[in-house]
Structure 1
Amino acid sequence: MTGCASPGCTGELAAEDAFCPLCGQPAERAPVNAARRAARRRAQQGTAPQGTVQHGTAAYPAPSPEGAAPSEDTARQAPSWDRTAPGATRSSVPLDWTAQADGDGSGRSGGIPNARSGEDTRAQLFPATATSATAPPRRTSPPVERDGGQARRPTWDDDSGATGAWPADEAPDSAATGAWSSDSAATGAWSPDAGRDSGATGAWSPDAGPDSGATGAWAPEADRDSGATRARPPRFDDDPDSADSGGTRAQAPTWDDDDSGPATAEGTVPDTAGRPGGTAAWPATWGRSVRGSRDSKSRSGSRSRTGSAGSGSSSGRTRRGSTRSAAPRGRLGAGLVEVPPVPYRDPKQAVLVNPEVPEAKRFCSACGKEVGRTRSGRPGLVEGFCTHCGHGYSFAPKLARGELLHGQYEVLGCLAHGGLGWIYLAADTAVSNRWVVLKGLLDSGDADAKAAAVAERRFLAEVEHPTIVKIHNFVRHTDRRTGDPTDYIVMEYVGGTTVKDLINDRSGALPVERAIAYALEVLPALGYLHGVGLLYCDFKPDNVIQTEEQLKLIDLGAVRRADDRTSPIYGTVGYQAPEIGKRGPSVASDLYTVGRALALMCFRFDFRGKHLKSLPDSAEQPLLAEHDSLRRFLLRACDPDPDRRFASAGEMAEQLTGVLREVLSAQDGRQRPGLSRQFTPERRAFGCGGELDRGEAALGLAVPQVDLGDPAAGLLATTTGEPSEVVRILRRAPEVTLEVRLRVVRALLDSDLPAQALAELDALDRLADDDPAAPASDDWRPDWYRGLIALAGGRVAAARELFDGIGDVLPGEAAPKLAAAVCAEAAGEHRAAAELYRVVWRTDHAHTAAAFGLARALLACDDDRDGAVEVLHTVPDTSRHHVAARVSAVHVLAMGGIADVLRAGSLLEPLALDAGRRAELTAELLAAALAVPAEDRRVSARLLGCAVTDKGLRLGLERSYRLLARLADTPEERIALVDRANAVRPRTLV
């Protein structure tokens, strides 16, 4: 290492450095002398040379001699106040170090502005020789006795460990047991500046009036032992003399903005005589406040826990008297998924204690090289210059605690840092001290980042959606160190947990149904942005927060207009679509990020390495093998070709909802039916009689719904009749649209004219080849009809391929799965057919063909009669195929032993059947029982009124055959049945 030769610079240069990291000048090396080493050592060890004041680990410049102003360098060196410094306990944090002329003209300088009011306090001057700074003097007030109430303020003891001690400066980090401070964890702890989120059990709002209606309401001066819990704050009435001020409303206290004198109590306590319900008195007006709100800390934007006692209402969001022992649970994902709520997070607890950007995330905004890294064992610089290109950088927060923006937003600290800027928590002093979030730039030297912030300001003004964070304001603030103006976005505070943190809390993955529900909640927000011509560009779990039972999309810094081809593109590696570099962002690229994020929520995989542009296969991820529809959905959402992805967020949500229904039904076996917007219901039942008929199945399967946006949709809605008549009418349609052509294909197929139907589809293909923009060029519906034609014609493999392809496009639909199952069964692939039939039937019992198909497949695979009968029993009583399902179950059981035959008889008896059908089934069961060896029929039970003996069964069978003979339609059938009756009758002696 060598030293920088620039005058006054103490930076060190590595061999590869082209620029000094400290001063940014081109590298000119000089020997590192002893004085430079000493300066660096003092900076590292926290000891300051003469002329500075050490405060903790940072040095303040000493006050300049009287009559002299500090140098520019001195005025810029003020670090953040270190609360842990010796003697600095519970001190207000200085906002800045500035040179100010004394009001009396003495010329003294170096005053530290008061942290709360911003007033220059002349007594707060550090001695030039100090090595351990002490806190500035604090104003105190003696205990105040109240004549108009029953409580008094406790003694202000700064460092007392006594219960109930009240620090004079209302420090949030009070160490006193039971201290009355805003962040105290003590049960029932309270202070006048405590927010509604203090976390104290039974904590009461400081602005609660004595007439809140709660016995022992906790006013700021209320006795700690008053016993009040969960009292409701009243509404405020600024006019105590009006008719509305009595009984249940009380006047809020007023605050003195003049902090020039000691903090003494002024005014009188409102008279509580004659006002029912109140037992605690209001405090009098006193000083030590900033803009009428700092000491009260009544945040209407914060959360207050309220009970049933009291009257009035709170101006903030509240939880009203619930005594449920279990945590409330909300439903997301189209109301299908019960999701545990995430507790609202106290904003003050979310503030970072030591806000800094990790070294691993520090990169030069100009050349992309690493900056601010550890060198020779010394921590990297938070602010400096890139050693490769000389570009300046700064990763330090620009706003300090207590700083006021726009005369309205008081900064409380940093919440987080992201790709485009620091995020700060602030209080909106103009709107009931509600919590807000300020977002600024991470690196003010980054021109692209500045442009992105300006763009975000422009776009967000147009955004209004319940799932997108609300924007309150846009303000400009001058950087206290550099004097440069910086724009800030003022957003609502969303107190919750990011989905990324929820994933990490569960060891890297969420339950699949919960992950899908989160994606379904976000897709409408993206669809809204797309609808107003905006692209989100950087969706990921980090940018979604769950607060209680609601999701919010945050960090809109990468938002851009869909037609913008010049602005910088922001995204995250592992989520960003592969075509971004060539084609730029689009709706398809936004939906790609949703697919990637959903995959990452469901299971862990190397999404930034091995699978940067791909997804794991089913062998690598068992979840994808378990839920094939989810696998198909993710493959389409993350298809490398953007033209093959979902066309819109609405279409994506529709299919994902279907996938969710399947996943949930697979988990608990309960059906979750849904109305398809892509297919009609099954046109007719098929496969109910036992064997599968391919032609019957082709005519019974669902067909695509008519596109209501088609010009001929009205004509098609009124065109009914025989298929040949439908074809004749549509041939003369005034406009031959895609829907007209598809309806002609369907009518030809119903007329058993597959060759002509296929010719119509070929004509559609030729139109698509001639005009790639033709409606049929990327439409799956012609392939559906081709599949039906192939199935009816016996080309099962071709039909299966077509239906599988449509299943890839529509992974949440049942119709393609049912059609593929029919093809698998026709091809003899009974196990594959059983799985497809099971998925369809388990999810929606409206597809009764799936129940019959599953029963057939179970019998063909494993001769599983019990399983087949169980499936047939799930056909609901309300279905018109209920009786057919029970009859099929009778047929299945008739193939078993005597126990199965007896069970079949008990199923048959209550069925409402005509005489002929009942006689047929009775004959079938009696014949099956008679076929069982006599030694296996030794049971006392009766079958359909017949003894289970050779004689009893033969007599019953004879009666059934003779009844069928009387009902026969032809003489030939009658003769055959009489012969059967004679053959089976038992032998008797005449």
Structure 2
Amino acid sequence: MPSSPSLRDPAGNDMSVHSHPISSGNIRLSGRSGPGSTAGTVGSSRTGSSSSRGSKRGMLGLGMVQVPLVPARDPSEAIMTNPVVSEKNRFCGNCGEKVGRARGGQEGRTEGFCRQCGTQFSFTPKLAKGDMVGGQYEVLGCLAHGGLGWIYLARDRNVNDRWVVLKGLLNAGDAEAHKAAAAERAFLSEVEHPNIVKIINFSQHPDPRTGIPGGHIVMEYVGGKSLRELLVERRQDGSGEEVLPVERVIAYGLECLRALGYLHSKGLLYCDFKPDNVIQSEELIKLIDLGGVRRMDDTLSPVYTTPGYRVPEDELRGPGPTISADLYSVGRALAVLSFHFSFMRQHPHSIPPRNEVPLLQRYESYDRFLRRATNIEPESRFHDAGDMADQLTGVLREVLSEIEGTPHPAASALFGGETFTSGSDVGAHNADRMLSPPSPTEAAGLLPAPLVDPVDPAAQLLRSFAGMPPAELIPTLRAAQAPTPETLLMLARALITVGQHNEALDALQQFSSAVPGDWRTMWYLAVAELSTGSFQEARNHFDELYDHLPGEVAPKLGLALACERTADLETAARQYATVWSTDHSYVSAAFGLARIRVAQGDRASAIQVLDTVPELSSLYIHAQTALIAALATGATDSADYVRAGERLGRIGLDSESADRLAARVLESALTWLRSGGSAPAGQRLLDGDLTEEGVRANLERRYRSLAHRASRTSERYELIDRANSLRPVTLL
């Protein structure tokens, strides 16, 4: 599978670290999204696992989205009263010329011959009410017409009068349509999936005009409504601009990706995905109309697609349909269902700019997901339904977190958890550190690491090295006589951690040569740039990775860290907020967002963020100490100091840590009082009166307590001097 264009900064500059030969100009991101997957392959482990996931009743999107049930439709109510193919949909099956059109004020013929090539056409139903097909299926009428044939409702008189659907040829004179119908029958007989319509049988019935037997596919009847019908109904009930809720659209998309992943695993391409071909019946989603399905190695059969959803014509004429083309159509359908735009005329192969679509402005990850799925360059799209579903699931979690105001965390299929640590000190000094940007080395170290590819020969051994210190890990990995790709990646990360950047990039270059197109090359280059203070270069690479992996937390966290150091506080805050609102296990995002709010002068928002760190988190005490420091810094009334004191009394610090943080609060309160602040009579702070005399006495006591425990003589003298400076002046 070819790889995507080289990646460079907007000015076309080479983005190397320390002038090392590996740079963004050498890196190419392939369509694959995860370790162990290959772009363009089918039946990946994730696709298989996602296909086995069941939906709760009325719940789609892995059970996260409540979707209104669509009642099963009474089949008899769906029968067309006047089965006619619209003139605008009449084309020659051989040359594509318009046929059966009105001329001279007369209606177009439904049967005749093409004026261009002479091929016979017929758009009249071949079955009538009461016809018995195959001596078993009693026809009740027409349900619809499509690109390849009429669809009839019938009863199976041999099996409990069950409802079935018969699909016949639209044009009996079209040889290509005959071939397509035969091919569809063969494909359908191999398909067995809960999200795909089931074939029951294939029967023949003579054409009433010619007597020539015509084939009819017998399928299960799927009551309900197509996604297009649901969209049209919603628009008719409102102003005409309404669309389906984005969380519901994403849930539909995940079900459809399950079905397509299954077809791809069987070596089949769907080719004509669109909202019309997806039915919701109660809580079940089914893909219908497999008329355009073809085998992946079929280069001869005609391709049936729909404008507005299909890839550009040049692509179809070139390599022909591919997995990425199927997934492109899914992206187009999701866009059409979730926001209003001219997808046929103005944007037949593009999505409107983000600033023109409020939904895309609100959900940045969804915007990036759609743009990757529908990228004009095939190499830049998704190439595996399982990978695409993984990213779409991550996007859904973000969307639901914002809509519902509660996190929707989940383990990543590509990254481990964050490695954020804060040290053992939880006093005032640590509170200041937690509200200061991490150093470049610390920033790089806290980012999640990509998971080890399980198919790598050394995978099991490398997992056992996970807790080994870099100083021990590096010589161990270097000792490998024939290092595997995963060994090279682990070595690169360890070398970055200890600051040996040129050696790290050597290992990364070897990995890139062994596994071209793997996104992890760019990931570790971005991490290396972050660790050396090349923040703009790191930002560019993390932004590119965000485009490639829109449902992952790690690229957003890396982008936030880089943007914070390039003074783009708005972007940094947006990414930190997205990560934190989605998954509260990434506590570094909470501290990052709090830092940004403090820098922006929004102390109240910083306090609010820190207060959302869960009590069960190992960093809860650190968050509370930072919160207390934020409350005491820049307080404008006595209430903030009282709140800080109350928080300090509740978090259960050891005596020394409590005294140090209490001294921080009391110092701030004393400064406030000396500058003219005053508290209501009787108000107390940390077991003392909130007056200048009371705070001085309280602070003196804290300093003497700290001096008593100080291990260094110089520190003890300094604390005693501070205590003495606070003693009230007396005559004795």
Name the TM tier (shorter chain). 0.7 to 0.9
CA distance in 2 between partners of 1:951 and 1:715 (Å): 65
Residue number in structure 1 paired with 2:472: 725
2:436 is equivalent to residue 708 of structure 1: no
Preserved contact between residue 329 and residue 338 of structure 1 (Cα < 8 Å):
no
Identity %: 50
Residue number in structure 2 paired with 1:645: 381
CA distance in 1 between partners of 2:228 and 2:126 (Å): 27
**What is the CA deviation profile of residues 122-173 of structure 1, one whole-angstrom value per residue up to 9, with x for unaligned ones?**
xxxxxxxxxxxxxxxxxxxxxxxxxxxxxxxxxxxxxxxxxxxxxxxxxxxx
CA distance in 2 between partners of 1:846 and 1:618 (Å): 30
Residue 931 (structure 1) aligned to one of 651, 665, 671: 671
Q: How does 1:289-328 map to 2 (within 5 A)?
A: none
Residue 574 (structure 1) aligned to one of 308, 317, 321: 308
Residue 955 (structure 1) aligned to one of 690, 697, 700: 697
SS, match of residue 702 in structure 1: coil
**What is the CA deviation profile of residues 633-675 of structure 1, one whole-angstrom value per residue up to 9, with x for unaligned ones?**
0111111121111120000000000001111111121110011
Residue number in structure 1 paired with 2:434: 689
Q: How does 1:184-195 map to 2 (within 5 A)?
A: none
Residue number in structure 1 paired with 2:485: 738
Return the offset for 1:335.
1.1
Preserved contact between residue 688 and residue 884 of structure 1 (Cα < 8 Å):
no
Residue number in structure 1 paired with 2:45: none
2:558 is equivalent to residue 819 of structure 1: yes
Kindly report structure 1 stretches of 4+ aligned residues shifted beyond 6 Å. Answer: none
Residue number in structure 2 paired with 1:877: 615
Return the offset for 1:936.
2.8
Residue 553 (structure 1) aligned to one of 287, 312, 336: 287
Residue 762 (structure 1) aligned to one of 492, 509, 530: 509
CA distance in 1 between partners of 2:644 and 2:495 (Å): 42
Residue 684 (structure 2) aligned to one of 930, 934, 942: 942
**What is the CA deviation profile of residues 256-315 of structure 1, one whole-angstrom value per residue up to 9, with x for unaligned ones?**
xxxxxxxxxxxxxxxxxxxxxxxxxxxxxxxxxxxxxxxxxxxxxxxxxxxxxxxxxxxx
Preserved contact between residue 94 and residue 176 of structure 2 (Cα < 8 Å):
no
**What is the CA deviation profile of residues 679-718 of structure 1, one whole-angstrom value per residue up to 9, with x for unaligned ones?**
1101233696221122111111111100101111122122
Residue 922 (structure 1) aligned to one of 662, 677, 689: 662
Q: How does 1:483-522 map to 2 (within 5 A)?
A: 483-507=211-235, 509-522=243-256
Residue number in structure 1 paired with 2:71: 343
Worse-superposed segment, 926-935 or 402-411: 926-935
CA distance in 2 between partners of 1:722 and 1:666 (Å): 38
CA distance in 2 between partners of 1:683 and 1:867 (Å): 25
CA distance in 2 between partners of 1:538 and 1:943 (Å): 70
Preserved contact between residue 707 and residue 739 of structure 1 (Cα < 8 Å):
yes
Preserved contact between residue 576 and residue 589 of structure 2 (Cα < 8 Å):
yes
The number of equivalent residue pairs is: 654
CA distance in 1 between partners of 2:117 and 2:509 (Å): 62
CA distance in 2 between partners of 1:685 and 1:631 (Å): 33
- Taking structure 1 as the reference length, the TM-score comes to 0.65
Return the offset for 1:755.
2.4
SS, match of residue 253 in structure 2: helix
2:411 is equivalent to residue 675 of structure 1: yes
Return the offset for 1:390.
2.8
CA-based RMSD of the aligned residues comes to: 1.5
SS, match of residue 271 in structure 2: coil
- Give the AA of the match of 1:602: S
SS, match of residue 610 in structure 1: coil
CA distance in 2 between partners of 1:753 and 1:864 (Å): 39
Residue 379 (structure 1) aligned to one of 107, 116, 126: 107
* Cα distance change of structure 1 residues 387 and 755 upon mapping to structure 2, 3 Å threshold: closer
Residue 666 (structure 1) aligned to one of 402, 419, 436: 402
Residue number in structure 2 paired with 1:901: 641
2:523 is equivalent to residue 780 of structure 1: no
- Give the AA of the match of 1:536: Y
**What is the CA deviation profile of residues 166-203 of structure 1, one whole-angstrom value per residue up to 9, with x for unaligned ones?**
xxxxxxxxxxxxxxxxxxxxxxxxxxxxxxxxxxxxxx
- Give the AA of the match of 1:948: L
- Taking structure 2 as the reference length, the TM-score comes to 0.88
- Give the AA of the match of 1:741: L
CA distance in 2 between partners of 1:938 and 1:405 (Å): 92
Preserved contact between residue 330 and residue 341 of structure 1 (Cα < 8 Å):
yes
- Give the AA of the match of 2:685: L
2:105 is equivalent to residue 366 of structure 1: no
Residue number in structure 2 paired with 1:829: 568
- Give the AA of the match of 2:702: S
Asked which structure has the greater RCO (Cα within 8 Å, sep 6+), the reply is: 2
Preserved contact between residue 253 and residue 330 of structure 2 (Cα < 8 Å):
yes
- Give the AA of the match of 1:599: A
Residue number in structure 1 paired with 2:652: 912
Preserved contact between residue 536 and residue 556 of structure 1 (Cα < 8 Å):
yes
**What is the CA deviation profile of residues 338-385 of structure 1, one whole-angstrom value per residue up to 9, with x for unaligned ones?**
000001100000000111101111112223222222222222211122
Preserved contact between residue 698 and residue 789 of structure 1 (Cα < 8 Å):
yes
**What is the CA deviation profile of residues 89-141 of structure 1, one whole-angstrom value per residue up to 9, with x for unaligned ones?**
xxxxxxxxxxxxxxxxxxxxxxxxxxxxxxxxxxxxxxxxxxxxxxxxxxxxx
CA distance in 2 between partners of 1:363 and 1:869 (Å): 66
CA distance in 1 between partners of 2:708 and 2:566 (Å): 42
**What is the CA deviation profile of residues 561-584 of structure 1, one whole-angstrom value per residue up to 9, with x for unaligned ones?**
011111111111111112111110
Residue 477 (structure 1) aligned to one of 202, 205, 220: 205
- Give the AA of the match of 2:197: V
Residue number in structure 2 paired with 1:965: 707
Return the offset for 1:734.
5.1
Return the offset for 1:987.
2.2
- Give the AA of the match of 1:733: A
Return the offset for 1:938.
3.1
SS, match of residue 800 in structure 1: helix
Which blocks of at least 5 consecutive residues in structure 2 are unaligned?
1-55, 236-241, 423-431
Residue number in structure 1 paired with 2:20: none
Preserved contact between residue 119 and residue 174 of structure 2 (Cα < 8 Å):
no
CA distance in 1 between partners of 2:72 and 2:527 (Å): 54
CA distance in 2 between partners of 1:683 and 1:938 (Å): 43
CA distance in 2 between partners of 1:683 and 1:933 (Å): 41
SS, match of residue 619 in structure 1: helix
SS, match of residue 529 in structure 2: helix
SS, match of residue 580 in structure 2: helix
- Give the AA of the match of 1:495: G
Return the offset for 1:750.
2.4
- Give the AA of the match of 2:361: A
Residue number in structure 2 paired with 1:563: 297
Return the offset for 1:329.
6.9
Worse-superposed segment, 411-420 or 933-942: 933-942
Preserved contact between residue 226 and residue 277 of structure 2 (Cα < 8 Å):
yes
CA distance in 2 between partners of 1:830 and 1:367 (Å): 58
CA distance in 1 between partners of 2:495 and 2:712 (Å): 36
Q: Which has the higher helix share?
A: 2
2:625 is equivalent to residue 887 of structure 1: yes
**What is the CA deviation profile of residues 415-447 of structure 1, one whole-angstrom value per residue up to 9, with x for unaligned ones?**
000011000000000000000000001001111
CA distance in 2 between partners of 1:725 and 1:864 (Å): 44
Residue number in structure 2 paired with 1:792: 531
* Pair member with larger Rg: 1
**What is the CA deviation profile of residues 43-77 of structure 1, one whole-angstrom value per residue up to 9, with x for unaligned ones?**
xxxxxxxxxxxxxxxxxxxxxxxxxxxxxxxxxxx
Preserved contact between residue 688 and residue 852 of structure 1 (Cα < 8 Å):
no
**What is the CA deviation profile of residues 735-790 of structure 1, one whole-angstrom value per residue up to 9, with x for unaligned ones?**
4221110011112122232221122223334x2xxxxxx42x11111211111111
SS, match of residue 435 in structure 1: strand
**What is the CA deviation profile of residues 494-539 of structure 1, one whole-angstrom value per residue up to 9, with x for unaligned ones?**
0000000111112252111111110001101100000011010010
SS, match of residue 461 in structure 1: helix
CA distance in 1 between partners of 2:209 and 2:166 (Å): 18
